[in-house]
Amino acid sequence: MGNRFALAAAAAAAVLAAVCDAAQLRAAVYAGPGARGVGMFRWLTLTDRAPEIDAAYVDGAAIRAGALRDADILLMPGGKSNLEEDDLGPEGQKEVRRFIEDGGAYIGTCAGAFLLMRGEKREKTLGIAPYRHRRGSWGGEAMIQVEYTKEAAALSGVKPGKRTERFNGGPVMDPAAPVPGADFKTMATFSGNLHSHSAKPGLPSMGGGASAVAGTFGKGRVWLFSGHPEYYPKTWSSLEAAFKYTTGRDVKFSAPQRKKGQLAVGFCCKAGVGPATAEFVRGIVRDPDFDVEPYSTAEIERTGLQHIDAFVVPDTAEPKVLAKLFAPGSKAASYMKEFMDRGGKVVAWGRAADCVPEHANRIVADGAAGAMEALRAVKNAPLPPPRAKPAAKEPDAVRAAIYCGPGASGAGFMHWISILELSPCCKLAPVDAAAVRGGALYGADLYVAPGGTSITQAKTLRPDGCSNLVEFVRSGGLYYGTCAGCYLAMSYRDKEPRSAGRIGMVPFEAQKSPYRGGSELLVKFTKDAGMFGLKPGAEASVRYHGGPVPLPSRPVPDADIRAVAEYACDGVYSFSTNTAPTMAGHPAVLAGTVGKGRMVGVSPHPENWRYTQNIVLGGLKYLTGRDFRPDFPQRVRGNLSVGVSPYRLASDGGRLVAELFGEVSLDVRPADSELISYGALEHCDAIVLVHPDKDTVTRAMREFAGNGGRIFAYGTAAELKTPKDLPEGSYSPHTTRAGLIEALRAYAKEP
């Protein structure tokens, strides 16, 4: 009898556990003032798409009114912690504290982590986590290496060891005085260091500071992230571990996937939206008519709104933030006007409508419901005529040869192709190393060495190709190198092996340093910036990805090279905590004469972002005397959204990329391996693989194909073996450029 009762009790317990496991987590997602940016948008969409979560959107007023009494977990996004504090007020903070102490769970990112830490006297934080912010100057954005501990793995299931996560000015956490009732541990520490907005000497390193902490307060559990793991699919596993620790539940996040024919909608998420507008976000991302992409200030300025059909400026909890963002004369305002001028629709309502200038393509909606109706009307309107073809080439166009081969890679290459191919004053010729060795430069005016790996470029060119390149410039040719291309032009350091990838064209060498990783760095233009038509003393934030930090070296005969811009920051050590030579004050942009020719060498990647391409255009104007301003690709509603992955470049592959940019039925965007890991395929209908190999088709691409995306491939017959486990009809290989382009045109016409 006893055994039967024991078995029955065990069965009942198992049934109860199954019921509990099936019940959704009730998540309160803070959407009030202070919660801003792409991170806020990601929190709204990720929690809505996770089947294990039932999300409700709250602000300070709702929390004070008792909204947390029906919640299992409170999620606090990044943004501005002081505004989150003010919106909560003393009573709201007491509610949050009581909620956690009574058994509630809490996950905070960036500002949401600041909110729970021990604050300074002027800060009104909750003081639950016994950590303080390590003071320094860690502004700006970067992917920084962090290391998760074995204890974190045991507690949450997160994979121990190093990984990169997005950082944008969050707290660097050090243990502080104990907090009664709190028991916290460091889950991950910074293995990299960033000082992207300061040149002050002696700033403390981020290295060793906590990037993630977790623990208990009363009966509740807390996990705090300094960075933003919610941004990208590659780091969502960190979030899933935080849910496992704080709630005991397995939560899986998934990204939306664009479906062919959807309206491409950009959502302005610079300012805090409030719970009502958060509900609008829930509705629009669920709607099968729309493919929604978040835009903060950075995304607006980096893309120029080039890849969307409509732009939503929502009613906001922070109208002053939007008013400043779109103030007359601002970059964002100018790009929004260009967007409307070329036919894009801007939909706004409430207080946000006052921030959008009058225009025939501005739609002022009657509330959130009216905004949804307006977007649906845009979606269902007859398609506009095809976009105009790129402008015809001028008869005396500059003949530009861009290197396409081993050592040239990444999104920068794609942007270079776009600028050169779509500039009426430029005739583009992609060249490989064999062509350079064979004398192809004798028919060129300009040689462009894109980013990638300078050592590989030099090895592939071989000594005779490198000699041809130097002779080309010394005889009157023009040279423009970015990142690896800037390295390539430099002199050797003492005792450096000749295999290091330098051609000794300029009297600068690259200092040995651990500067790596992608980030946003500040540069300042020098007194010689007038060479590029830029304003001396002005500053700009430019994408950096491991480019050289030049130091003056031994003289080079007949070379007069000057710094057009210098780094105004202390450096980014994304993969190292070592003490390293400073970047501040060292050249970021070099330009001058070499023999009878001219050269420009740029350490960062201004070609990658729309609002820094003036540096590229200024350099081209200095070299050639011509205005290379491109006829930018203009998305028209109905275009096929195509990502391009140039894996192993060759001259014919470069030609294919150039031809894709000129196709009127396509909206082309870079989708290299790094961008794919950051979610680039979410907003593509198709992806083009250039010269793929057996390892090219990644898990992300397989998921893309499984969700309805189409994979097109270009290369030789030997390269185009159909990968296994792809849905039937999802893979389309082609051995000719014309065949691939015709297939894309046909796919664009399919319903």
Q: Where are the alpha helices (DSSP H) in 108-250?
A: 111-114, 150-156, 236-247
Q: Rounded to whole angstroms, how far apart are CA atoms 70 and 55?
A: 11
Q: Give residue 518's pLDDT.
A: 80
Instruction: State mean pLDDT over 184-205.
Output: 80
Which DSSP state fits 648? S
- Output the CA torsion sign for 159, 163, 166, 171: positive
**Residue 325 and residue 332 in contact, taking contact as beta carbons nearer than 8 Å:** yes
Residue 327's CB is within 10 A of a number of other CB atoms, namely 11
426 and 574 part of one domain: yes
Q: Give residue 121's pLDDT.
A: 58
Q: Give residue 607's pLDDT.
A: 96
Q: Give residue 748's pLDDT.
A: 95
Strands, E, within 398-472: which ranges?
398-403, 426-431, 446-449
pLDDT surpassing 50 at residue 20: no
pLDDT surpassing 80 at residue 147: yes
Q: Which range has the worst mean pLDDT, 3-7, 427-431, 521-525?
A: 3-7
Q: Give residue 689's pLDDT.
A: 94
Q: Chain-wide mean pLDDT for the chain?
A: 90
Q: State the pLDDT confidence band at 633, using cuts at 50, 70 and 90.
A: confident
Contacts 24+ apart (CB under 8 A), 471-474: 472/441, 472/442, 472/444, 472/447, 472/597, 473/447, 473/505, 473/594, 473/595, 473/597, 473/598, 473/599, 474/558, 474/594, 474/595, 474/596, 474/597
Last residue of a domain, one of 185, 218, 247: 247
pLDDT surpassing 90 at residue 559: yes
Which DSSP state fits 176? -
Q: Which range has the worst mean pLDDT, 119-123, 290-294, 367-371?
A: 119-123
Q: Give residue 9's pLDDT.
A: 32
Q: Give residue 356's region: left, alpha or beta (phi > 0; psi -120 to 50).
A: beta
Q: State the pLDDT confidence band at 14, using cuts at 50, 70 and 90.
A: very low
665 and 526 part of one domain: no
Summarize pLDDT for 483-526 with one digit per residue, the tens: 999 999 999 877 776 666 789 999 999 887 767 778 888 999 99
Q: Rounded to whole angstroms, how far apart are CA atoms 98 and 92?
A: 10
- Tokens 């045991």 identify what position? 154
pLDDT, greater one: 21 or 563: 563
Instruction: State mean pLDDT over 657-661.
Output: 95
pLDDT surpassing 50 at residue 631: yes
560 and 649 part of one domain: no
What's the first-to-final CA gap in the chain, in angstroms? Answer: 67
Q: State the pLDDT confidence band at 201, using cuts at 50, 70 and 90.
A: low
Q: Give residue 436's pLDDT.
A: 96
Tell me the CATH number at 277. Answer: 3.40.50.880
Summarize pLDDT for 393-412 with one digit per residue, the tens: 999 999 999 999 999 988 89
Q: Rounded to whole angstroms, how far apart are CA atoms 130 and 444?
A: 64
Q: What percent of the chain has pLDDT over 90?
A: 76
Highest mean pLDDT, choosing among 451-465, 484-498, 645-659, 684-698: 451-465
The answer to whether residue 9 sits within a structural domain is yes
Q: Give residue 12's pLDDT.
A: 33
Q: Give residue 574's pLDDT.
A: 66
The answer to whether residue 553 sits within a structural domain is yes
Tell me the CATH number at 672. Answer: 3.40.50.2300
- Output the CA torsion sign for 575, 580, 585, 589: negative
Which DSSP state fits 724? T
pLDDT, greater one: 591 or 502: 591
Instruction: State mean pLDDT over 197-221.
Output: 86
The answer to whether residue 409 sits within a structural domain is yes
Cα–Cα nearest to 474, from 494, 447, 454: 447
pLDDT surpassing 80 at residue 204: no
Which DSSP state fits 261? T
223 and 79 part of one domain: yes
498 and 544 part of one domain: yes
Write the burial class of residue 42 (CB in 10 Å: 0-12 exposed, 13-18 middle, 19+ buried).
Answer: buried
Write the burial class of residue 523 (CB in 10 Å: 0-12 exposed, 13-18 middle, 19+ buried).
Answer: buried
Q: What is the pTM of this model?
A: 0.93
Q: Is beta strand 686-690 parallel, antiparallel or unpaired with respect to 640-646?
A: parallel
Number of structural domains (the chain) is: 4
pLDDT, greater one: 317 or 638: 638
The answer to whether residue 183 sits within a structural domain is yes
525 and 426 part of one domain: yes
Distance set, CA 728 to CA 106, 196, 709, 725, 746 (Å): 44, 47, 12, 9, 18
Q: Which range has the worst mean pLDDT, 176-190, 197-211, 424-438?
A: 197-211
pLDDT surpassing 50 at residue 2: no
Q: Give residue 578's pLDDT.
A: 59
**Residue 712 and residue 729 in contact, taking contact as beta carbons nearer than 8 Å:** no
Summarize pLDDT for 57-97 with one digit per residue, the tens: 999 999 999 999 999 999 999 999 999 999 999 999 999 99
Instruction: State mean pLDDT over 242-247.
Output: 97
Q: Give residue 256's pLDDT.
A: 86
278 and 364 part of one domain: yes
pLDDT surpassing 90 at residue 593: yes
98 and 182 part of one domain: yes
pLDDT surpassing 50 at residue 103: yes
609 and 495 part of one domain: yes
Q: What are the structure tokens assigned to 719, written together?
A: 């390269």
pLDDT surpassing 70 at residue 298: yes
The answer to whether residue 660 sits within a structural domain is yes
Residue 652 domain boundaries? 640-749
Last residue of a domain, one of 576, 591, 624: 624
The answer to whether residue 392 sits within a structural domain is no
pLDDT, greater one: 194 or 667: 667
pLDDT, greater one: 470 or 569: 470
- Tokens 């090219």 identify what position? 696
Instruction: State mean pLDDT over 357-364.
Output: 96
Q: Rounded to whole angstroms, how far apart are CA atoms 17 and 289?
A: 39
Q: State the pLDDT confidence band at 694, using cuts at 50, 70 and 90.
A: confident
428 and 331 part of one domain: no
Q: Give residue 498's pLDDT.
A: 63
**Residue 543 and residue 608 in contact, taking contact as beta carbons nearer than 8 Å:** yes
Q: Give residue 434's pLDDT.
A: 95
pLDDT surpassing 90 at residue 242: yes
The answer to whether residue 646 sits within a structural domain is yes
Last residue of a domain, one of 592, 624, 656: 624
The answer to whether residue 387 sits within a structural domain is no
Q: State the pLDDT confidence band at 722, using cuts at 50, 70 and 90.
A: confident
Q: Rounded to whole angstroms, how far apart are CA atoms 168 and 520?
A: 10
Q: Give residue 123's pLDDT.
A: 58
Q: Is beta strand 519-525 parallel, antiparallel or unpaired with respect to 559-567?
A: antiparallel
443 and 300 part of one domain: no
Q: Give residue 15's pLDDT.
A: 33
Q: Give residue 580's pLDDT.
A: 65
408 and 503 part of one domain: yes
Summarize pLDDT for 25-67 with one digit per residue, the tens: 999 999 999 999 999 999 999 999 999 999 999 999 999 999 9
Q: What are the structure tokens assigned to 327, written together?
A: 């103030």
